[in-house]
Amino acid sequence: MARKCLIEKSRKEPKYKTRRYNRCNLCGRRRAYYRKFQICRICFRNLASKGEIPGVKKASW
């Protein structure tokens, strides 16, 4: 879980646009972020296994 101050800092508009970075909307994690879903890989995996993301199924063969 990310610190609250870092989450709030990332929501502000930076002085330069290249300083902007993405964070997970659910947990605030900075790494392994999927832009299409706007969440990190850990939250994505949890939601996908519960079936809460439409169009995503767990692979099995």
Q: Check the annotation: does 43 bind a ligand.
A: yes
**Spatial separation of the C-alpha atoms in residues 20 and 58, rounded to whole Å:** 32
5 is in an annotated binding site: no
Task: Confirm whether residue 40 is marked as ligand binding.
Answer: yes
Return the HEC string of 23-57. Answer: CCCCCCCCCCEECCCCEEHHHHHHHHHHCCCCCCC
Tokens of 59: 């692979």
Binding-site residues sit at: 24, 27, 40, 43
Binding-site residues for Zn(2+) sit at: 24, 27, 40, 43
